Amino acid sequence: MNTRGLRSQLKDSVPVTGMGPQVGAYGVQDTLRSGFSSVKNELLPSHALELSEKNFQLNQDKMNFSNLRNIQGLHAPLKLQMEYRAARQIQRLPFLQSSHLALDTLKGNDESISFEDILNDPAQSEMMGEPHIMVEYKLGMM
Amino acid sequence: SNTEIHGCGNQENTFPCRRNAVLEGKLSELGYSSPKARKTGTTIAGIVFKDGVILRADTRATDDMVVADKNCMKIHYIAPNIYCCGAGVAADAEVTTQMSSNVELHSLSRGCPPLVTVTRQLKRMLFRYQGHIGSSLIVGGVDVTGAHLYSVYLHGSYDKLPFLTMGSGAGAAISIFEDRYRQPGSEMLKKLVRDAIAAGIFCDLGSGSNVDLCVITQAGVQYLRGYDQPAQKGKKEGQYKYKPGTTAVLTKTVTPLPLDIVDESIQLMDTQ
């Protein structure tokens, strides 16, 4: 239950997942990782499409898997998701940029090109994470 | 989909996106107003005839009430056999049609794409962005199944018809089509399209300048830019300048200005 935002007390508001402060361990705002919080920024999405775009791939996958389950039975999405999980593990260390080639081929992204491939390309990003901290976080030591 | 006939000239993407609202606030403090998106205020039309598809578009881009571009290109290339006209916000139409690279990638593994593929990709993208990409498109081309014409509206709905018009001048253009369209017989249809765009140019403030023509057939594509110039500036009938001496001189006063020579310098010019 998120007591921080006034969201839940707004009249006519539908509780929306995805907005709200990022809670870390101990259930409070994780200032170290996600910066200072501001109620005004978290109350409403800053664009009508923000939430739908953030969750777009997730929702597409959910829809496709549930269709597949209805058509072919439970085994089909199970096998596919097992393959996705295996392909997702093929990556380099956390602060290095990995190509995700197997995952892209499975998802069919190798045959399409769109905004995400040109803008905000992680290979061209100007900032790099601090290697030690990222590996420690990945190993659960942080 | 009938509401879109009026939609293209009036489409205001004024959803208060927070960043835009902040920028607008800062600019209005300084006394400026934020720049508006440039719309095309267009008339585009397409018609299917016996051998293929004809696409025609005007070339004016407007920025509210000012003509921003007198000769912009509204017919965009998507694939060698598929062209697309865009109406609505000019930048959005331009970017939407850059999906030609996506189509090229697709055709590397599947061969020349049928028109339904392109239409489906466009409508999926426009639906995904819920109308915030403000471009309505007419897609026409010839593929293995024949000549087809589709229109995709900015929220993602589409239509397949033998003749289509879009843009702010769509009302004027579609009236010509509805009145005079008969079954496909090639020569009469070319004139019909020309008249439809001319109607859009003359009856709609947002369309004007030249007309671009694109004829797509099995044999190939003819893209003629500036094919027609229906709205040429008329020649003036007479001379409206006054002859020298028309105004009588009543008095004349001459005041000589005494100037002193302050500095004199001679520069030799090389006349070789």
Output the six-digit token pair for A135: 């590996």
Residue A25: predicted pLDDT: 66
Residue A43: predicted pLDDT: 72
Averaging pLDDT over each range in B65-79, B103-117, B230-244, which range is the top one? B103-117
Count of CB pairs separated by less than 8 Å, A with B: 29
**What is the value of ipTM here, to two decimals?**
0.70
Output the six-digit token pair for A40: 């005004």
- The better pLDDT of the pair B223, B184 is held by B223
Residue B269: predicted pLDDT: 86
Mean pLDDT of B96-110: 83
- Which A residues 19-78 touch B at CB under 8 Å? 46-49, 52, 56
At B80-101, the pLDDT tens digits run 999 998 888 767 666 666 788 8
Distance to chain B for A50, nearest Cα, Å: 10
Residue A6: predicted pLDDT: 52
Contacts of A42 (CB under 8 A, 6+ apart): A5, A7, A19, A20, A21
Distance to chain B for A54, nearest Cα, Å: 12
Residue B93: predicted pLDDT: 67
Chain B residue numbers touching A49 (CB-CB < 8 A): 129-130, 132
Q: At what angle do helices A56-72 and A75-88 cross, to 10 degrees?
A: 140
User: Which of B128, B133, B154 best probes binding to A when mutated, by most A CB atoms within 10 angstroms?
Assistant: B128
Averaging pLDDT over each range in A3-17, A116-130, B185-199, B246-260, which range is the top one? B246-260
Residue A77: predicted pLDDT: 95
Residue of A nearest to B101 (CA): A113
Chain A residue numbers touching B102 (CB-CB < 8 A): 112-114
DSSP conformation letters of B16-66? --HHHHHHHHHHHHHT--PPPPPB----EEEEE-SSEEEEEEE--EEETTE
Residue B21 has pLDDT above 90, yes or no: no
Chain B residue numbers touching A46 (CB-CB < 8 A): 17-19
pLDDT band at B10 (very low <50, low <70, confident <90, very high): very low
Q: Which of B40, B42, B59, B119 is catalytic?
A: B42
The answer to whether A112 contacts B102, with C-beta atoms less than 8 Å apart, is yes
Min mean pLDDT across A3-7, B148-152, B156-160 is at A3-7
Residue B40 has pLDDT above 70, yes or no: no
The answer to whether A111 contacts B130, with C-beta atoms less than 8 Å apart, is no
User: Which of A19, A41, A44, A49 best probes binding to B when mutated, by most B CB atoms within 10 angstroms?
Assistant: A49
**What parts of chain A have a pLDDT lower than 70?**
1-25, 33, 142
pLDDT band at B13 (very low <50, low <70, confident <90, very high): very low
Residue A130: predicted pLDDT: 84
Residue B45: predicted pLDDT: 92
Averaging pLDDT over each range in B95-104, B149-158, B204-213, which range is the top one? B149-158
| Residue B42 among the catalytic residues | yes
- The better pLDDT of the pair B111, B186 is held by B111
Length of chain A: 142
Distance CA B163, CA B146 (A): 15
Which pTM value belongs to this model?
0.72
At B56-73, the pLDDT tens digits run 998 888 877 788 888 888
The answer to whether B106 contacts A56, with C-beta atoms less than 8 Å apart, is no
Residue B4: predicted pLDDT: 31
Distance to chain A for B18, nearest Cα, Å: 5
- The better pLDDT of the pair A20, B124 is held by B124
Residue B194: strand, helix, or coil: helix
Residue B252: strand, helix, or coil: coil
Quote the radius of gyration of chain A (alpha carbons, Å): 19
Mean pLDDT of B198-203: 88
Per the DSSP assignment, residues forming a β-bridge with B16 are none
List phi, psi (to 5°) of A125: -75, 150
Q: Which of B15, B19, B105 faces A113 most closely, judged by CB atoms?
A: B105
At B43-57, the pLDDT tens digits run 899 999 888 899 999
